[in-house]
Amino acid sequence: MTTPATGWTWRLHGPDGGVVDPADLGVEVPVEEAQADAESWLGEHWRTLLERGAASATLLRGDTVVYGPMGLAAT
């Protein structure tokens, strides 16, 4: 599935900073129509992502990095 040019989604990274395929973690990262929806999704799922091996996430709009990577571990 390709990411629509205006869709908002997350790129997941492992502890080494490398990109992690969400399928390898047993999750599907949705493509949202709004930034707030994408951020809400991460807010609801960050613990699961962290438990399954993701260490950080980068917000994308289409293929453009909006911000990140940001750590998923609570500080």
Classify residue 2: in a domain, yes or no.
Answer: no
Residue 45 · residue 26 · CB < 8 Å: no
Among 43, 42, 7, which Cα is nearest to 22's?
42
Classify residue 1: in a domain, yes or no.
Answer: no
For residue 25, the enclosing domain spans 8-71
pLDDT tens-place string over residues 12-56? 999 999 999 999 999 999 999 999 999 999 999 999 999 999 999
Classify residue 29: in a domain, yes or no.
Answer: yes
The predicted pLDDT at position 56 comes to: 98
Classify residue 27: in a domain, yes or no.
Answer: yes
Classify residue 52: in a domain, yes or no.
Answer: yes
Find the mean pLDDT for residues 54-60. 98
Classify residue 3: in a domain, yes or no.
Answer: no
pLDDT tens-place string over residues 2-15? 544 689 999 999 99
Going edge to edge, which strands form the sheet with 64-71?
Answer: 19-20, 8-13, 56-61, 64-71
Classify residue 63: in a domain, yes or no.
Answer: yes
**Cβ-count burial of 13 within 10 angstroms (0-12 exposed, 13-18 middle, 19+ buried)?**
buried
- Identity (one letter) of the amino acid at 44? E
Number of domains in the chain: 1
